[in-house]
Chains A and B, each alone.
Chain A
Amino acid sequence: QSALTQPASVSGSPGQSITISCTGTTNDVGSYNHVSWYQQHPGKAPKVMIFEVSNRPSGVSNRFSGSKSGNTASLTISGLQAEDGADYYCSSYTNTSTLWVFGGGTQLTVL
């Protein structure tokens, strides 16, 4: 069982927007702005899409945005494209010996 809770799946049509939630606790998401989101295609390594809650690395489309409220972080993808179909994982720094925790992942299907 993963430390952070994400919906198992979401879907949307091309051009639409979707939001993936990530719920933690006051030990992680609720206490730190060190929240990252990763995109993972089958058989590939995770790729960071958002870091520090809402920052995009260079080269990541501005269609990807992140936010946080209390113990819940969110990833929004606007203007869905076919290539956005992948698994998405949230991750947060924690105040336990397990310095980083992850969500169980959300499979995004672009219809």
Chain B
Amino acid sequence: QVQVVQSGTEVKKPGSSVQVSCKASGGTFSNHAISWVRQAPGQGPEWMGGVIPVFGTLNYAQKFQGRVTITTDESTSTVYMELSSLRSEDTAVYYCARHGGNYYFHGMDVWGQGTTVTVSS
């Protein structure tokens, strides 16, 4: 049973960047789409973008275009999400989630434990 393990808590200054990693444990991501979803305190989740490793496809929500970059390292089954020009509104828990197949329309069935990112001066 694959698990998704994310990197640890981050505290960042406004204007800086943060990179969060997401690694498959007990399996690979190769035949699955992977999405990044964030959840601000007391809010519903928000889809940020995703990657389909087998096709090399990258997709970003318009809201985050130009600020978010998703990359992959297939040799280690790790996906990275970098968010730049951080502001206080980016304070949230960031989740990596695996889709049930190699297209985004498959629902997200396995979620990482979440990475808390706090942006504060």
**CB–CB A46/B107 < 8 A:** no
**CB < 8 Å A-B pair total:** 65
**CB–CB B35/A100 < 8 A:** yes
Question: Of B59, B62, B65, B107, which contacts A48 at CB under 8 A?
Answer: B107
Residues of A within 8 Å of B44, CB to CB, are 2, 89, 102-105
Residues of B within 8 Å of A97, CB to CB, are 59-62, 65
A57 at the interface (CB under 8 A from B): yes
C-alpha gap A103/B106 in the complex (Å): 18
Find the A residue at minimum CB distance from B46: A102
Q: Mark A35-46, 1 if CB is under 8 A from B, else 0.
A: 010100000011
Once A46-B45, A89-B45 are accepted as A-B contacts, the answer to whether A100 and B112 lie under 8 Å apart by CB is: no
B111 at the interface (CB under 8 A from A): yes
C-alpha gap A90/B59 in the complex (Å): 21
Question: Of A32, A51, A104, which contacts B43 at CB under 8 A?
Answer: A104
Residues of A within 8 A of B (CB): 2, 32, 34, 36, 38, 45-48, 51-52, 57, 89, 91, 93, 96-105
